[in-house]
Amino acid sequence: MNESDAIDPSRRDALVFGRDLLLGGAAARWAGPSPAQAATANDPQAPVTVKLTLRVNGTAKSLALDTRTTLLDALREHLHLTGTKKGCDHGQCGACTVIAGGRRINACLSLAVMHDGDEITTIEGLGAPGHLHPMQAAFVRHDAYQCGYCTPGQICSSVAMLEELRRGIPSHAGADVAAAPTATPDELRERMSGNICRCGAYSNIIDAIGEVAGVRT
Amino acid sequence: MKPFTYERATSTAQAAARAASVPGAKFVAGGTNLLDLMKIEIETPAHLIDVNGLDLAKIEPTPDGGLRVGALVRNTDLAADARVRRDYPVLARALLAGASPQLRNRATTAGNLLQRTRCPYFYDPDQPCNKREPGSGCAALAGYRRMHAIVGTSDACIAAHPSDMAVAMRVLDAQVETIRADGTTRSLPLADLHRLPGSTPHLETTLDAGELVTAVVLPPPPGGVHVYRKVRDRASYAFALVSVALVRQADGSGRVALGGVAPKPWRSEEAERALASDPQAVVDGLLKDARTSPDNAFKLTLARRTLDAAIADARSSR
């Protein structure tokens, strides 16, 4: 794991560098200090670059990005935080789930520029080898994955999901929508329906989440 | 995705004026539907006006005892509001039956109303689609139509409106508040927001160029037992084949709207007068002009059974 961590960034830097050349980064328009000014630029087909700051896992990161950059691509391709995964890129699978402003969202369906100044927590911010987040530890303990590709999204989603439960946010699984929700296996399953696992590790995933939630699944 | 310029709106009036004056401008709020469509270049705005900073995220009581829901209230927050859960449970239930938690955390009230159809032919740029490219034809008419609308359709388009929230708001007689490019405001019944396709399926709403939805107003609570019953291909995170929003009073009378069967939330105040005496007559009235194919004729039966099930739910919950 440490070895691949050491190799990965340089390979990614090369990829990013190559991609920027292909897109003609030098020709990109700058939006200037006020993004609104970009609307007066001449060529409507030219890429538009904006400056923004993301607060990722507690650290402010200043970026200059094409307006088209999703939060997911900003995290993976520009900040090299590749724990967050790109599955469908259309909000259907949940592999890209991150916590933005305290809420779990699909990072693929949000523009980075719309998160200027936002606090973003990714899987890298939840825990690390040696000091795992309790949910990460539970996933390991319950073997709650097979290929592992959906796992960062599952973990970010489930951590935020338990916070939603604690705050009393209702779900489709509750019999009485006006009543305070309780953590039951049906509630946990319904609340995790935005995260797909193609390997079908659901029973172990729900066991891991149930353990952290204090629910027998 | 096509390049676009970007600005943050500073006021509702400024946003509406800019949207009407900047060529190719669109509003973006949650972005969950717009971004998806921009990636496959079905939506190609040249300019995005980000309205997220506007003061439209509050839920406030109205003087007559209703609720004003700001256009930027996220689906999660509307469903979690104690007043909505107590007084308009059909709306909370409909919201929670839609999308996934991640999407509901971003998706907004106005964006939910204005989302585009999920017709697979609309989503496929290699297929003709009168909604996407006026005059090109409709691939769905000769295609696989299982998910499509069966009423309110035309020879140009059979796309269904995908929203659950809008079906509940329709049964609650919601009003939509807007501001136009010239700064004037208006309020229109939700029933009048969406157009039927006719020969112009690319025109989906009655909003003017640049007109910005600012709120949805719910009239005072209608009382009764509220049910939102959604039938879909999997138990969670799927669009409706048929859904029923029901507000049923103690004497058996009430209101009914259907989702998944039409290009807009489908309700007939005339047909629902029969609810207490003959619930099936309500479905007969709602679907009397249905045009089905072998793929989706099951929706006629499913709508009847779903209303029956919703009434049974209402009876058992009192």
Write out residues in chain A with pLDDT < 70, as ranges: 1-42
| Interface mutation vs chain A, best among B102, B164, B233, B234, most A CBs within 10 Å | B102
Residues of chain A numbered 106-135 and touching chain B (CB < 8 Å): 106, 108-111, 113-114
Residues 6+ apart with CB under 8 A from B17: B181, B182, B183, B210
- Tell me: the pLDDT tens digits for B30-56? 999 999 999 999 999 999 999 999 999
- Tell me: the pLDDT tens digits for B215-240? 999 999 999 999 999 999 999 999 99
Question: Could you say which of A105, A170, A193 has the minimum Cβ distance to residue B105?
Answer: A105
- May I ask the CATH architecture of the domain B225-317? 2-Layer Sandwich (3.30)
Structure confidence at residue A42 (pLDDT): 63
The 3-state secondary structure of chain A reads: CHHHHHHHHHHHHHHHHHHHHHHCHHHCEECCCCHHHHHHCCCCCCCEEEEEEEEECCEEEEEEEECCCEHHHHHHHHCCCCCCCCCCCCCCCCCCEEEECCEEEEHHHCEHHHHCCCEEECHHHHCECCECCHHHHHHHHCCCCCCCCCHHHHHHHHHHHHHHHHCCCCCCCCCCCCCCCCCCHHHHHHHCCCCCCCCCCHHHHHHHHHHHHCCCC
Q: Do B237 and A178 touch (CB under 8 A)?
A: no
B-chain residues near A66 (CB < 8 A): 3
Q: Do B236 and A111 touch (CB under 8 A)?
A: no
Q: Do A38 and B100 touch (CB under 8 A)?
A: no
Structure confidence at residue B284 (pLDDT): 97
Is residue A212 within 8 Å of residue A147, measured between CB atoms? no
Q: Do B103 and A178 touch (CB under 8 A)?
A: no
Closest-approach residue (CA) in chain B for A114: B50
Q: Do B102 and A94 touch (CB under 8 A)?
A: yes
Q: pTM (2 decimals)?
A: 0.93
* Residue ranges covered by each domain of chain B: 225-317
Q: Do B24 and A91 touch (CB under 8 A)?
A: no
Residues 6+ apart with CB under 8 A from B241: B147, B231, B232, B233, B260, B299, B302
Structure confidence at residue B244 (pLDDT): 98
Q: Do A111 and B28 touch (CB under 8 A)?
A: yes
- H-only helix segments in chain B: 12-21, 34-39, 75-80, 82-87, 89-96, 101-106, 109-114, 165-171, 279-286, 298-316
- Tell me: the pLDDT tens digits for B243-296? 999 999 999 999 999 999 999 999 999 999 999 999 999 999 999 999 999 999
The pLDDT of residue B59 is above 50: yes
Strand partners, B254: B248
Inter-axis angle of helices A134-141 and A202-213, nearest 10: 140
The pLDDT of residue B136 is above 50: yes
- Tell me: the pLDDT tens digits for B141-200? 999 999 999 999 999 999 999 999 999 999 999 999 999 999 999 999 999 999 999 999
Please spell the DSSP secondary structure of B26-82, one letter per residue. EEESS-TTHHHHHHTTSS--SEEEE-TTSS---EEE-TTS-EEEETT-BHHHHHH-H
CA-CA distance, B190 to B174, in Å (whole number)?
Answer: 6
B-chain residues near A94 (CB < 8 A): 100, 102
CA-CA distance, B214 to B191, in Å (whole number)?
Answer: 17
Structure confidence at residue B317 (pLDDT): 86
- Domains, in order of start, for chain A: 47-126 (3.10.20.30), 134-213 (1.10.150.120)
pLDDT bin (cut points 50, 70, 90) of residue B318 is low
The verdict on A170 touching B (C-beta cutoff 8 Å) is yes
Which one-letter amino acid corresponds to residue A109? Answer: L
Structure confidence at residue A187 (pLDDT): 97
- Tell me: the pLDDT tens digits for A55-70? 999 999 999 999 999 9
Q: For chain A, what's the residue count?
A: 217
Structure confidence at residue A1 (pLDDT): 37
B-chain residues near A178 (CB < 8 A): 82, 85-86, 89, 92
The verdict on A33 touching B (C-beta cutoff 8 Å) is no
The verdict on A23 touching B (C-beta cutoff 8 Å) is no
